[in-house]
Structure 1
Amino acid sequence: MSQKFKGLTERYPAQLIMPVVDILAVISGCIFAHWWRFGHFNLPERFVLAMALLSLLIVVLNSAFGAYQRWRVKRVTTLTFRLLIVWVIVAMLATSIIYFTHTSYRYSRLWVGLSLLISFFMAAGVRVLVQLFLRHIRIKGFATRSVFLIGPGENITSVGKSMRGSPAEGYVLAGIRRIKNRLTADELDRLAERITESGAQEVWLCMSIACANDIRDFMYALRNHTAEVRFIPDFGGINMQLLNHRISEVAGLYSIDLSVSPISGVARFVKRLEDLIIGSIICLLISPVCLAIALAIKLTSPGPVLFKQYRTGVNGKSFKVYKFRSMKVHQETAGSVTQATKGDSRITPIGNFLRQTSLDELPQFFNVIQGRMSIVGPRPHALAHNEYYKDLVESYMKRHKVKPGITGWAQVNGFRGETDTLDKMEKRVRYDLWYIDNWSLWLDLKIIFLTIFKGFINKNAY
């Protein structure tokens, strides 16, 4: 029961549903205010338009002020005050728009004021109730996040006390590793194994900035982990590959998030919405093409139409990716995957065309609809490739902090197809990590646009 509830709250965190709550609050406020002012619920078209504008302003301003971020450690008073500021700004904007467009005779100022007042109390009330509910269930041991602490004994003791003193934040201890001196390579490997066995979702490095070299050692030892890594308590610059590094507050302490995906909260909701809308449209458009390709494959070579292979997805979990079969049916050596090369005899006549034009990847849009992939993201590699490169390319596995994509920043910059040298893979990973660290909706749309002109046909695709 607790595991199911924990999984539900992790998949649908509060910051994902708050924008929807705000929109529903505005709609409800506008409807009730109209009944209060005019005695009925039938809003004229101009009032519906004003309601849509108010909803848009509320969501945009809340997003701009970060009201949907870091919900876990925000105080109720902070959430409510920030919400009040947003509603006041929207009230001023609405009043200004009505005044400068000379439309005051078409809208009741009482209706506008009541709409904002009612919607504010509804939105704030929901936040207070949800926050109190989440705090209650965390104290009861539900919806918690497990943490592994690393550092000198006194630091771990101090951080542990802070965790126990903040039960409402829901952090529980998964394990500790006290250190006195710099760890050897073997000790670091054993520590990484302990963290994996503990199932920790976060790793907190509780040490001084003077231990910068030690921190780098730990980051390298955890390079194949997708657990979030936080540095507590000092600040400073560290020369290593970081993802969305920022200052956070956890358990009443300040930390530097060294490796955290920016695609979370509202951003994750927006990206999923992007995938569903664009993915559904593309699936409808490519259906005739997919049927023609399937028929051509079936007529030109024996074997199945689709090629299915396990790839590594978000947070290191494997999933089955779909592609049109472009090779003759053959048996690979166990635990290895041979990349296609120029003139590869395994490629079918139609397969060569499919691979060069990327048409073999069209079935992956169904992976997108399923939620296992995204339209834009790091390309998923074969499991054997991950095992090979994760120890050769630093931060290689951090590509899996987000869903893999059909196209990506690396692909539109020319790093597509065969990676026959370590240098090529390092550059691809560098572009993938840059994308994760700089994600935005506009970047996704830019990559989709560039893919149309640069990503489909590529001389490196065999």
Structure 2
Amino acid sequence: MDELITVPSRSGPRWLSPTLIERLTIVVDVLLILMCGIGSAVIYHLYTHAALGKIDTYAAASLLVAINFGLLTTVQRGYRLKNITNLPRSFRTTVMTWTGLFGALLAIAFTMKVSDEFSRGTTISFYLVGLIVLLAWKATAGRWTARALATGALANSRAVLIAEFGLPAASNTMMDLAQHGYRLMRIMEIRPTDLASPLLLSTIAPRFDELIAYARENRIEHIFLLMNWSRQHAIDSILDALKILPVPVHLVPDTHAARFLRYPLQSTGNTFTAELRRAPLSWKERALKRTLDLAGTTLALIVFAPVMLVTAILIKATSKGPVFFRQTRNGFNGRAFKIFKFRTMRVLEDGPTIRQAQKNDPRVTAIGKWLRKTSIDELPQLFNVLKGDMSLVGPRPHAVAHDSEYEQIIGNYAFRHHVKPGITGWAQVNGYRGETRTLELMEKRVEYDLSYINNWSLWLDVKIVLGTVIVSFARPTAY
């Protein structure tokens, strides 16, 4: 069972590589956006005015849109092969980025008073045509890339795998290598008893000589080691035997290490560590997040001021009690604060025992049902954001009584307090909004909250805000 195994495999042209595919995708995105922008301007002006108009202005604007779209998609790793082939994710990224980019650029144009330079018809045409063309291109590129990966067309770098007996069949290593540019030419499996032997090199010397000769003859470019990381003597011995070959040697993480290496790697002097749990946001990240909070809250208060005024009048006119409901919640680092909401119930509970609102809850007022379904009752929390107690985006703050309960039964629950609580959050846009009837629902909400904290970025906040608008109207679950 210790023989060298030659692996039959197919490969595409030597010039075709994963890196080239990723770069070509960026270039095609930019060119398509330029063509859509200029084409929309030309066709719209010829149709409405029988003249070309300021095509140079539209060309410059299209180039600006194309560059920003490429940069934003790159930041979201949208051009990685695994994301190109993941069509649902690719479509979401494209729609969110394209829409957010147009909204931001239109706001900037309006602020700088240059919006009059652009025809509204051309702008709308550019947005719609560009989005349709991009989605069609993403679908085509995704299916072609998936087919190329499946057939090994991108596996062009010749490689050899040296593995502990049985591990290649039990891992995804071979498939991953084949799908990301490496063509496995041979596999050398070594029995566990040989790997544990202090005389490893002398035991398998003839096989190593044959492997080295094969590597030279077939111009092998990479060697991968797949074995338990605890076998340090075996790994050192194999490296010593391979030093005669001028090729890189890669140690593939074993099943135990791979689970932890998915986390970000951090440098601590000369040592690298896997950051299994990140610290609260740095001061730069907090400043960036606070800037978004203040800008977004100011805009929201201007937009929703009439809605809030009408809501206050309706609450006062339809039921007895105050307009606002205040309740103690735990914020950043567990510090208590008073949260503001429009009153939707006939009771004002705030203490050690609080019952969550349920479907057809008799405590909810007639107007309160509508306010809770549309999330309008949450709008006064914009004042909490201005005060600094909350953020636009973050884990939803629960009543103190519920915090005390869940901290005892859900691991890592308290980690939610590593950032400011938010008006909306990652859990809410993923469907975990409203009543948590079972422990499993709360555990799932906490899982999304922790994922948000560990993967925070400014773009993720923007994505959640946009997603909240859609979810609030398309999938209302609060009552």
TM-score range, shorter chain: 0.3 to 0.5
Flag the structure with larger Rg.
2
